[in-house]
Homo-oligomer: A and B are copies of this chain.
Amino acid sequence: MENKNTIKDFFPVWDKLTDEEKSLINNTAIKQSYQDKKCIKFGDNECTGVVFAIKGRLRVYMLSEEGRELTLFYIEKGDWCVFSASCLLEEIHFEVFIDVEPNTETITVPAHIVNRLNQNNIFLENVMYKKLAERFSDVMWSMQQILFKRIDQRVAAWLVEQNTDEIKVTHSEIAQNLNTAREVISRMLKYFADEKMIVLSRGKIIITDRDRLTDISQ
Protein backbone atom coordinates (compact mmCIF):
# COMPACT_ATOMS: atom_id res chain seq x y z
CA MET A 1 0.00 0.00 0.00
CA GLU A 2 1.36 3.43 -0.90
CA ASN A 3 2.00 5.90 1.90
CA LYS A 4 -0.93 8.07 2.82
CA ASN A 5 -0.09 11.09 4.92
CA THR A 6 -2.91 13.55 4.39
CA ILE A 7 -6.68 13.16 4.44
CA LYS A 8 -6.76 13.95 0.72
CA ASP A 9 -4.90 10.68 0.08
CA PHE A 10 -7.48 8.65 1.97
CA PHE A 11 -10.76 10.09 1.23
CA PRO A 12 -12.83 8.70 -1.65
CA VAL A 13 -15.02 11.83 -1.95
CA TRP A 14 -12.34 14.51 -1.52
CA ASP A 15 -13.09 15.77 -5.05
CA LYS A 16 -16.76 16.21 -4.18
CA LEU A 17 -15.93 18.71 -1.44
CA THR A 18 -15.91 22.46 -2.06
CA ASP A 19 -12.70 24.43 -1.48
CA GLU A 20 -14.26 25.84 1.65
CA GLU A 21 -15.06 22.35 2.97
CA LYS A 22 -11.55 21.15 2.17
CA SER A 23 -9.92 23.96 4.11
CA LEU A 24 -12.31 23.51 7.04
CA ILE A 25 -11.13 19.89 7.26
CA ASN A 26 -7.46 20.74 6.83
CA ASN A 27 -7.62 23.53 9.44
CA THR A 28 -9.36 21.48 12.12
CA ALA A 29 -7.84 18.02 11.63
CA ILE A 30 -5.63 16.87 14.49
CA LYS A 31 -2.54 14.74 13.94
CA GLN A 32 -1.57 12.45 16.81
CA SER A 33 1.23 9.99 17.56
CA TYR A 34 0.81 7.15 20.03
CA GLN A 35 3.84 5.33 21.36
CA ASP A 36 1.79 3.13 23.64
CA LYS A 37 -1.57 1.45 23.35
CA LYS A 38 -4.46 3.79 24.18
CA CYS A 39 -8.23 3.41 24.29
CA ILE A 40 -9.72 6.26 22.24
CA LYS A 41 -13.33 5.11 22.40
CA PHE A 42 -14.77 3.62 25.54
CA GLY A 43 -18.26 2.36 24.67
CA ASP A 44 -20.77 5.17 24.31
CA ASN A 45 -18.61 7.72 26.05
CA GLU A 46 -16.51 9.21 23.28
CA CYS A 47 -17.30 10.62 19.89
CA THR A 48 -13.95 12.01 18.83
CA GLY A 49 -14.50 12.17 15.09
CA VAL A 50 -13.47 10.37 11.95
CA VAL A 51 -10.03 8.83 12.50
CA PHE A 52 -7.58 8.13 9.67
CA ALA A 53 -4.72 5.67 10.34
CA ILE A 54 -1.49 6.99 8.81
CA LYS A 55 0.79 4.51 10.55
CA GLY A 56 0.17 1.46 12.74
CA ARG A 57 -3.43 0.39 13.31
CA LEU A 58 -6.53 0.52 15.52
CA ARG A 59 -8.46 -2.36 17.01
CA VAL A 60 -12.25 -2.26 17.29
CA TYR A 61 -13.78 -4.63 19.82
CA MET A 62 -16.76 -5.47 22.00
CA LEU A 63 -16.55 -5.84 25.75
CA SER A 64 -18.72 -8.10 27.88
CA GLU A 65 -19.99 -7.14 31.32
CA GLU A 66 -17.32 -9.39 32.78
CA GLY A 67 -14.60 -7.61 30.80
CA ARG A 68 -14.09 -10.22 28.09
CA GLU A 69 -12.96 -8.67 24.80
CA LEU A 70 -13.95 -9.76 21.33
CA THR A 71 -12.05 -8.25 18.41
CA LEU A 72 -14.43 -7.25 15.61
CA PHE A 73 -11.88 -5.95 13.10
CA TYR A 74 -8.76 -3.83 12.67
CA ILE A 75 -8.45 -0.42 11.00
CA GLU A 76 -5.19 -0.90 9.14
CA LYS A 77 -2.78 1.82 8.03
CA GLY A 78 -4.31 3.63 5.06
CA ASP A 79 -7.88 3.00 6.21
CA TRP A 80 -10.26 5.12 8.28
CA CYS A 81 -12.77 4.62 11.05
CA VAL A 82 -16.35 5.86 11.39
CA PHE A 83 -17.08 4.14 14.71
CA SER A 84 -15.07 6.86 16.45
CA ALA A 85 -17.77 9.23 15.12
CA SER A 86 -20.75 6.92 15.71
CA CYS A 87 -22.71 9.72 17.43
CA LEU A 88 -23.20 11.11 13.90
CA LEU A 89 -24.74 7.86 12.65
CA GLU A 90 -28.11 7.81 14.31
CA GLU A 91 -28.90 4.23 13.24
CA ILE A 92 -26.00 2.89 15.33
CA HIS A 93 -27.26 1.74 18.72
CA PHE A 94 -24.43 -0.46 19.88
CA GLU A 95 -21.26 0.15 21.82
CA VAL A 96 -17.81 -0.59 20.51
CA PHE A 97 -14.41 0.07 21.99
CA ILE A 98 -11.41 1.28 20.02
CA ASP A 99 -7.75 0.92 20.98
CA VAL A 100 -4.92 2.61 19.16
CA GLU A 101 -2.03 0.13 18.99
CA PRO A 102 1.55 1.10 19.91
CA ASN A 103 3.49 3.15 17.32
CA THR A 104 0.40 4.45 15.58
CA GLU A 105 -0.20 7.83 13.97
CA THR A 106 -3.66 9.17 13.25
CA ILE A 107 -5.37 12.21 11.82
CA THR A 108 -8.75 13.01 13.38
CA VAL A 109 -11.42 15.24 11.88
CA PRO A 110 -13.48 16.32 14.90
CA ALA A 111 -17.07 15.06 15.11
CA HIS A 112 -18.67 18.52 15.18
CA ILE A 113 -16.86 19.44 11.94
CA VAL A 114 -17.93 16.21 10.23
CA ASN A 115 -21.45 16.87 11.45
CA ARG A 116 -21.45 20.36 9.95
CA LEU A 117 -20.13 19.04 6.64
CA ASN A 118 -22.65 16.18 6.54
CA GLN A 119 -25.54 18.66 6.74
CA ASN A 120 -24.62 20.15 3.36
CA ASN A 121 -22.81 17.38 1.59
CA ILE A 122 -24.67 14.13 1.08
CA PHE A 123 -21.64 12.58 -0.65
CA LEU A 124 -19.68 12.77 2.58
CA GLU A 125 -22.49 11.20 4.61
CA ASN A 126 -22.91 8.55 1.94
CA VAL A 127 -19.27 7.52 2.03
CA MET A 128 -19.43 7.17 5.82
CA TYR A 129 -22.39 4.80 5.54
CA LYS A 130 -20.59 2.80 2.85
CA LYS A 131 -17.60 2.40 5.15
CA LEU A 132 -20.02 1.22 7.82
CA ALA A 133 -21.41 -1.38 5.39
CA GLU A 134 -17.86 -2.71 4.88
CA ARG A 135 -17.50 -3.14 8.63
CA PHE A 136 -20.87 -4.87 8.74
CA SER A 137 -19.38 -7.49 6.43
CA ASP A 138 -16.33 -7.85 8.68
CA VAL A 139 -18.52 -8.34 11.73
CA MET A 140 -20.73 -10.88 9.99
CA TRP A 141 -17.64 -12.80 9.00
CA SER A 142 -16.45 -12.89 12.62
CA MET A 143 -19.92 -13.91 13.76
CA GLN A 144 -20.13 -16.76 11.29
CA GLN A 145 -16.73 -18.07 12.33
CA ILE A 146 -17.60 -17.92 15.98
CA LEU A 147 -21.16 -19.19 15.91
CA PHE A 148 -21.18 -21.70 13.16
CA LYS A 149 -18.11 -22.98 11.52
CA ARG A 150 -15.78 -23.11 14.49
CA ILE A 151 -13.13 -22.85 11.83
CA ASP A 152 -10.95 -21.01 14.35
CA GLN A 153 -11.08 -24.09 16.59
CA ARG A 154 -10.37 -26.46 13.72
CA VAL A 155 -7.43 -24.45 12.37
CA ALA A 156 -5.95 -23.93 15.85
CA ALA A 157 -6.29 -27.65 16.59
CA TRP A 158 -4.57 -28.52 13.32
CA LEU A 159 -1.69 -26.14 14.08
CA VAL A 160 -1.02 -27.36 17.63
CA GLU A 161 -1.23 -30.98 16.49
CA GLN A 162 1.79 -30.54 14.20
CA ASN A 163 4.14 -30.85 17.22
CA THR A 164 6.58 -28.25 15.92
CA ASP A 165 6.67 -24.47 16.18
CA GLU A 166 7.78 -24.06 12.59
CA ILE A 167 5.30 -25.69 10.24
CA LYS A 168 6.18 -25.96 6.55
CA VAL A 169 2.81 -25.88 4.84
CA THR A 170 0.78 -23.87 2.33
CA HIS A 171 -2.66 -22.44 3.05
CA SER A 172 -4.10 -24.72 0.37
CA GLU A 173 -2.72 -27.78 2.10
CA ILE A 174 -4.40 -26.83 5.38
CA ALA A 175 -7.62 -26.13 3.49
CA GLN A 176 -7.54 -29.58 1.90
CA ASN A 177 -6.89 -31.12 5.29
CA LEU A 178 -9.84 -29.37 6.90
CA ASN A 179 -12.15 -29.70 3.93
CA THR A 180 -12.70 -25.99 3.47
CA ALA A 181 -11.68 -23.17 1.08
CA ARG A 182 -8.17 -21.71 0.91
CA GLU A 183 -9.61 -18.19 1.37
CA VAL A 184 -11.17 -19.22 4.67
CA ILE A 185 -7.87 -20.61 5.92
CA SER A 186 -5.91 -17.54 4.78
CA ARG A 187 -8.32 -15.23 6.53
CA MET A 188 -8.21 -17.29 9.73
CA LEU A 189 -4.40 -17.43 9.69
CA LYS A 190 -4.29 -13.66 9.16
CA TYR A 191 -6.52 -13.34 12.21
CA PHE A 192 -4.20 -15.53 14.29
CA ALA A 193 -1.23 -13.50 13.03
CA ASP A 194 -3.00 -10.22 13.87
CA GLU A 195 -3.55 -11.61 17.35
CA LYS A 196 0.17 -12.46 17.53
CA MET A 197 -0.36 -16.20 17.98
CA ILE A 198 1.56 -17.05 14.81
CA VAL A 199 3.89 -15.39 12.31
CA LEU A 200 3.27 -16.00 8.63
CA SER A 201 6.15 -16.24 6.20
CA ARG A 202 6.56 -17.74 2.75
CA GLY A 203 5.76 -21.44 2.85
CA LYS A 204 5.74 -21.68 6.63
CA ILE A 205 3.88 -20.78 9.79
CA ILE A 206 5.70 -20.05 13.04
CA ILE A 207 3.76 -20.58 16.26
CA THR A 208 4.51 -17.82 18.77
CA ASP A 209 1.75 -18.39 21.33
CA ARG A 210 1.08 -22.11 21.62
CA ASP A 211 -0.88 -21.71 24.87
CA ARG A 212 -3.48 -19.44 23.33
CA LEU A 213 -3.79 -21.60 20.22
CA THR A 214 -4.28 -24.60 22.48
CA ASP A 215 -7.02 -22.74 24.35
CA ILE A 216 -8.82 -21.95 21.10
CA SER A 217 -8.48 -25.51 19.86
CA GLN A 218 -10.40 -26.96 22.81
Contact = CB atoms under 8 A, between A and B. Distances in A.
Which label, helix, strand, loop or mixed, suits the secondary structure of the A interface? helix
A22 B93 CA distance: 32
A159 to B, nearest CB: 21
Contacts of A126: 122, 125-126, 129
Interface stretch (A2-10, A49-57, A133-141, A160-168): A133-141
A143 interface: yes
A141 B93 contact: yes
Interface stretch (A32-40, A61-69, A170-178, A203-211): A61-69
A146 interface: yes
Interface in A114-149: 122-123, 125-126, 129-137, 139-141, 143-144, 146-149
Contacts of A94: 137, 140-141, 144
A144 B70 CA distance: 10
Given A126-B122, A126-B126, A148-B65, A143 B143 contact: yes
A92 B133 contact: yes
Contact of A144 (B62, B89, B123, B129): B62
A140 B137 contact: no
A215 interface: no
A89 B65 CA distance: 34
B64 A137 contact: no
Nearest to A138: B93
A64 B148 CA distance: 5
A149 B64 contact: yes
A130 B129 contact: yes
Interface of A: 62, 64-66, 68, 70, 89, 91-94, 122-123, 125-126, 129-137, 139-141, 143-144, 146-149
5 contacts: A64-B149, A93-B140, A122-B126, A133-B136, A135-B136
